[in-house]
A = this chain, B = another copy of it.
Amino acid sequence: MNPTEITEEQIKMKVFPFSLKDSVKDWLYYLPPEPEKARQTLLLQSARSILNQSAAMAEEAEVVKNKQVVLKNYATGFVKDSDFIIKTDSTMSLKVPESSSKGVLVKNFYLSCDPYLSFLMQKSDSSLEAQFSRFSLGSTINGFGVAKVVDSRHPKFEKGDLVWGITGWEEYSLIAEPDSLFKIEHTDVPLSHYTGLLGMSGLTAYGGLFEVCNPKKGEKVFVSAASGSVGLLVGQFAKLTGCHVIGSAGSRENVHMVLYCRVDLLKNKFGFDDAFNYKEEQDLDAALKRYFPEGIDIHFENVGGKMLDAVLLNMRMHGRIAVCGLMSQYHQEKPEGLYNVASILIKRLRMEGFGVFDYLHLYPKFLDLVLPQIREKKITYVEDIAEGLENGPAAHVGLFSGRNVGKQVVLVARE
């Protein structure tokens, strides 16, 4: 059967397995809000990939076992280990099917644990749902990772290339449209750094701080979830710009000891001018007034909810808020309300949502800035590496209980 002849009807009848259909789901997140058309196009592409893969197998390409982390239950409240399942019976042909003109097949080395994945694991009935796609039950988790090209039909990539970008939480991934995979050119720094500092986290911090907020020397910068992988870098980039930087960090009560260390680390290891534990503050507005008596010029938002509401009250005229994440909201069934919207008007604030995909074109410029800083050890970067794909779910769950310090990475395989 010719893949181009696949009909919508066949897709509806599920003539192809779930797993590969979902390998493209993540891309939907970044598409313009024409969900139905985009989804159909991508479903067709996926279905074609499946048939192409069968063809490749008929060509006697090597077929290997492919362990995968799959969504078992939709997340409700905080994500739990039991929401994931480790699937050990899948296989993968190590050849990109002939008719997939742009496909790349990769072996995954490192995966990145990021809070937004929890959001994609929820089943939501909100009308936001229509605008992007979450993971479906039985689908492989997808996220940022570092991998090596095993086979390629894409002119930009060849076998042996090291890459970073969106890949699957599995040993091998077939990436049908690798437009946002980056080739790794510099290997004098740890490869795992491309899951964070030199990958999504770094470019996110760079784009959000410099493109959205345009910081000037001497400005007051507040970073929420400052001990997260993006927050730590935002703080350091802002310090390099000559700003006064204060961060907040938090955790659930039961890991209070770890939290104490976090706030301490922000000040003593990561060079923040000051930091506070928001869990110890009865009144976030009062806390911000204490740390920013003259107000906040730039706020880098990773948290949302009550923290953002308190920040709005403490912004200065013409302040800028980069909305990078809303971590406090991902586990909520209904989002919290934001009440101090009048501050946006009264203080002429600019609040802007952004994602790393808006700044991919700046990656070379970003590397020019950050690679020398890494080599001269002017940037402090910490990774928390969980060994083994099967420990991925626990590592991800740990993000929300404050278990990690710095970037949480999952090691799938060594080079």
Contact = CB atoms under 8 A, between A and B. Distances in A.
A163 to B, nearest CB: 25
A334 to B, nearest CB: 7
A33 B353 contact: no
A295 interface: yes
A60 B358 CA distance: 69
Nearest to A351: B351
Nearest to A348: B353
A271 B350 CA distance: 30
A199 interface: no
Interface residues of A, number: 43
A172 B43 CA distance: 71
A222 to B, nearest CB: 15
A308 to B, nearest CB: 7
A85 interface: no
Nearest to A119: B342
A155 interface: no
Contact of A132 (B131, B285, B337, B346): B346
Contacts of A99: none
A242 interface: no
Nearest to A309: B337
A343 B304 contact: no
Nearest to A338: B338
Given A32-B317, A33-B295, A313-B128, A342 B335 contact: yes
Interface stretch (A86-94, A321-329, A369-377): A321-329
B342 A326 contact: yes
A282 interface: no
Interface in A130-173: 131-132
